[in-house]
Amino acid sequence: MSQSFETWKKEGTTYHLVPTDKFKTTTVLVTFSAPLEEKTLTSRAILPYIMEKSTAAYPSMKALREPLETLYDAGLYADASKFGEEHVISFQLDVVRGDLVRHETLLEEALDLLEQMIFYPDLTEGGFREQFVKQEKRLHALRISSLYDDKMRFAQQRLLELMAPGEAVSLSSLGTLEGLEKITTSSLRDTYRSMVENDRIDVFVVGHVTRDEMEEALSFLPSHSEKTSHYIPALKQVAGVKRSSETQPIKQGKLHLGYRVAVDPTSADSIRMQIVNGLFGGFPHSKLFMNVREKESLAYYAASRYAALNGALYVYSGVETQKAERAETIIKEQLVDLKAGNFTAEELTQTKAMLINARRQILDQPGQLIGWLNGSKMRGLTLEDEIHIIETATREDVVRLAAKIELEAVYLLRGEE
């Protein structure tokens, strides 16, 4: 398994290229990143949905989709997300390789539409078109409200707020209903201008493209000063366990635990920590699944996730409210076991194999490759580097890193009894 990639900076933009003829398409992702702040979050969250509806040259969604259809059904999308302590607005293009359909200018024509979407939005003197803004505000209000309906997401959001009240990591990537009410056509225009003028720009390309071809095709990107990354928060010390609970008319309670992890997310240990998480609750053979769910029958589900950028590990479980206290005790015992080295060589081997297989599967999907590039850019490691780190990790590494995990918060969403 081998897949080379190149990363370089030019005129303030960072380029990430995976040159390959493995895929029949070329995928281009342009991201605009800024510090995650509550005052700008909601406006930035709704902005890409407005921008993908129309441009100055294509003033309706139908008008914008027509040229995409003529380009062999190319895909053009916009989205917003969180990455550590940054808010990221993304624009993605997927287009068939021109050499496969005897259309040598296909990529350039498709990139012209990407340029139109990013740099020539559908603006009037007052800002973005009012009909689109009103429509999208209604839709975005539903997105925000849906967080309450998804009780697992709701409980996790409450846990984040408990662990880091008022901090960037605890903010929902969707923003708030209060922030949504304040948005106007002109305030969105100001948000857009700030994005273009002040955000850090990264470009990811996967396809049959060279470095020179990539730079030439994306020459429409503006020159700007290099921006500092803000996505890595400082490692924090735990000062006692915080607790919170709420009651709602639900049948299945949600018990979420938040652990602080004292591991630098840019280090090789952050890769090894994925083994620790895999043994603890990341896979069907993990301690949480086998003991909390299967053996003790204390949870409908029990799993964990390591969030390197947050310096945290989260446990999710669906429980009967009357069993929540016992479930919490057993969950904690699984980590104590892990810290004591109570796991078999077979469990360690299986966990490593699953992590390595997941990385090998990344090579089969352009979107997954870009996702991996985006997540790994802070480490500067290749896929082969990561696989080697996993393969050579020892029992002692697992025990050493498990000792760096400390409980910080417990949130329980109770069902009415």
Q: How confident is the model at residue 1 (pLDDT cuts 50, 70, 90)?
A: very low
CB 133 within 8 A of CB 185: yes
Look at phi and psi of residue 11 and say left if phi exceeds 0, alpha if psi is from -120 to 50, else beta.
Answer: left
Beta bridge partners of 413: 246, 254
Compute the distance between CA of residue 392 and CA of residue 394 in angstroms, rounded to an integer.
6
Compute the distance between CA of residue 234 and CA of residue 231 in angstroms, rounded to an integer.
10
Task: State percent of the chain over pLDDT 70.
Answer: 98
Condensed to tens digits (0 to 9), the pLDDT of residues 359-405 reads 999 989 999 999 998 888 778 888 999 999 999 999 999 999 999 99
The residues, any chain, with a CB within 8 Å of residue 87's CB and separated by 6 or more, are 33, 34, 35, 36, 37, 40, 41, 44, 45, 80, 81, 173
Name the strand (E) or helix (H) holding 23. Answer: none
Q: How confident is the model at residue 248 (pLDDT cuts 50, 70, 90)?
A: very high
Beta bridge partners of 255: 317, 412
What is the per-residue DSSP string for 110-164? HHHHHHHHHHSB-EETTEE-HHHHHHHHHHHHHHHHHHHHSHHHHHHHHHHHHHS
Q: Where are the domains of the chain?
A: 6-217, 242-415
Domain 6-217's class? alpha beta
Q: Is the pLDDT at 233 greater than 80, yes or no?
A: no
Mean pLDDT of 243-258: 96
DSSP 3-state assignment of 177?
helix
Q: How confident is the model at residue 234 (pLDDT cuts 50, 70, 90)?
A: low
242-415 matches 6-217 in CATH topology: yes
**In this predicted structure, what is the pLDDT of residue 319?**
95
For domain 242-415, the CATH superfamily is Metalloenzyme, LuxS/M16 peptidase-like (3.30.830.10)
Compute the distance between CA of residue 29 and CA of residue 49 in angstroms, rounded to an integer.
16
The residues, any chain, with a CB within 8 Å of residue 396's CB and separated by 6 or more, are none
DSSP 3-state assignment of 411?
strand
